[in-house]
Amino acid sequence: MVCMVSRTGRQMQRYNKGHRLVVGCIPYRFTRNGEFEVLVISSQKGHAMMFPKGGWETDESVEEAASRESLEEAGVLGIVQCELGKWRFKSKSQGIYHEGYMFPLLVTEQLSLWPEQNLRKRAWMTVEEASEACQQWWMKEALEKLVNRLNSSDFESAIS
């Protein structure tokens, strides 16, 4: 069963030396034609495009947090794969630093109803389109890492 309500509040958020820990995913799929696409979402205010991400809470693993954020914000379920990396970035809204962890999410199901469907738009894009649309430098770097991983001969070992 899928929870249809987003978590709210910061009481259970994880921090490292004062930096809020956030976790996100790059949801991706291969089309019937074998083309690689990634799913981007709008910010809550609807202006910026990005990948799903949010706070890592104390009652979940980093992979569980990544999966939850993808469900809440983008309405997709899938397989969380090996971490792409960790980035330190400044929050635009609060002006404080966060540590962000990003994971690939091989999408297995796209839901027609999800918790934040009235707050966000979602769109499947090519890598080039997503890189242009995404305004956060660290998410662009994560996308580049994912593409390099998928293009490498070590892909099979990287996803396990």
Q: At 63, which CATH number?
A: 3.90.79.10
- The answer as to whether 3 is a domain residue is no
Report the percent of the chain where pLDDT is more than 70.
86
- The answer as to whether 5 is a domain residue is no
Q: Could you tell me the residue range of the domain that residue 97 belongs to?
A: 15-159
pLDDT at 150 over 80: yes
Banded model confidence at residue 153, pLDDT cuts 50, 70, 90: low
Cα distance between residue 95 and residue 128, in whole Å: 29
Banded model confidence at residue 159, pLDDT cuts 50, 70, 90: very low
- Overall domain count for the chain: 1
Whole-number pLDDT of residue 7: 47
The stretch 94-104 carries a mean pLDDT of 86
- The answer as to whether 117 is a domain residue is yes
Buried b (16+ CB within 10 A) or exposed e, 99-137: bbbbbbbebeebeeebbbbeebebebbebeebbeebebe
118 φψ region: left (φ > 0), alpha (ψ -120 to 50), beta (else): alpha
- The answer as to whether 9 is a domain residue is no
